[in-house]
Amino acid sequence: MKKLILILAVGFAAWQFYFKHQDRQTVTSYDSDSAPSSFAAQQSAAALARTYSCDGRTYCSQMSSCEEATYFLQHCPGVKMDGNNDGVPCEQQWCN
């Protein structure tokens, strides 16, 4: 019985670890027609993808900058940072 519980606990921990880190990986695919035209635009898009990831944060109080809040609003589902739905997040705290 103890072995079964131990195996289940280890399996559950491995499952949680796998899915927690799977959400942080960003896969970007695009066709050549929609690709950024300049090298600087490609670098900045890649830098944002490395800097931020959808990690479950949804509120302005959990953000540390306007840039971070904007990334979350554009790329992450279920965020609650744009009360008036104008596309500008955290207007009272970060993006004023």
Nearest to 72 by CA among 35, 60, 84: 60
pTM over 0.85: no
Query: What's the pLDDT tens digit per position in 2-19?
Result: 888 989 888 888 777 776
What count of other Cβ atoms lies within 10 Å of the Cβ of residue 72? 25
pLDDT recorded at residue 6:
86
pLDDT recorded at residue 2:
87
Whose tokens are 């970007």? That residue is 28
Tokens standing for 80? 């609650």
Query: What's the pLDDT tens digit per position in 31-90?
Result: 555 444 555 555 565 665 568 888 999 999 999 999 999 989 999 999 999 989 898 999
pLDDT recorded at residue 78:
92
